[in-house]
Structure 1
């Protein structure tokens, strides 16, 4: 069965940290490297060009696209297919409910939806600590995430994790347990 994890939350909520803990727990979990067109951080992304994006869009292979921080971030069908080869479980990081909804609706897999949360104060503290040079933009994105959640009160989260009170390994074990139990039909 094709399966994946959708991690949603504001900037600095711990998506990278929890994903690292998941991959330590089970090497079958793989960060889905979104296609990024732009500048800045490259780790965890497949860097692309505007021409690649236009080609994907022309073929209908863009599942979700968002523009933030002056960049374009893409969840694409060929990229997800590539990660799912060999039975791997992609962990997709998203910061918009529209992305969660589109990936779940447009890419056939058993998606486990996980909300990672932290306070705005925690984002303000964590952001510069992880090397962000645009913390003000990250805090604006935190506000947008909170508003996004308010607009989607029935989002269908299968798991909610407060990363201020839950250790990354504990979060990873909870996610893994849910993925395994839903994959087995329990």
Structure 2
């Protein structure tokens, strides 16, 4: 099976920054571009219409979707197939249920990584990057923390505190964990 990476964490935990560090270390690492049905920011998304989402659902090609910020974000089977054909996809998620559905719904050698930082760091980062909806992102941070508590039995393969780990180091640790996983148990 081909390797893939799932980065889970609250807003401003460093998913984009760590993804950029991974891509800088090796161009085979690339963020999975989710389909977005809605309005607002279009950069970094494959914008879709409701009819496209309905067509994917009818074909059984929606692996996971969630609604946030008034939009629908979709992880779809054809998009994942394209991403795996191009290299090692990095999927960003903020719900443990999404991680579980992706693990169950799309066979791959997934490495699950929890990226975490304290609430105050998230708030500082959100304000620092000019988010107009920092208050909403803080609510999502709290929902992410509650999500982790609700799914306390779920174990990530790797946990990184992004307020204590620089992006190049995080990328190195993720690459090492992925490599160890692909090597399998020692004989």
Determine the structure 2 residue equivalent to 1:159.
Answer: 158
Determine the structure 1 residue equivalent to 2:60.
Answer: 60
1:11-90 correspondence to structure 2 within 5 Å: 11-86=11-86, 88-90=87-89
Determine the structure 2 residue equivalent to 1:93.
Answer: 92
Structure 1 gaps, min length 5? none
Aligned residue pairs, count: 185
Shift of 1:128: 2.4
Determine the structure 2 residue equivalent to 1:150.
Answer: 149
Q: Deviations over 1:123-155 (max 9, x none)?
A: 111112223211111011001000000011121
Within 2, Cα distance between the matches of 1:136 and 1:38?
A: 21
Within 2, Cα distance between the matches of 1:41 and 1:169?
A: 27
Structure 2 gaps, min length 5? none
RMSD: 0.9
Within 2, Cα distance between the matches of 1:22 and 1:146?
A: 25
Within 1, Cα distance between the matches of 2:72 and 2:129?
A: 21
Within 1, Cα distance between the matches of 2:12 and 2:42?
A: 16
How does the TM-score come out when normalised to structure 2?
0.96
Within 2, Cα distance between the matches of 1:50 and 1:132?
A: 27
Which 4+ residue blocks in structure 1 deviate beyond 3 angstroms? Answer: none
Determine the structure 2 residue equivalent to 1:105.
Answer: 104
Within 1, Cα distance between the matches of 2:117 and 2:39?
A: 26
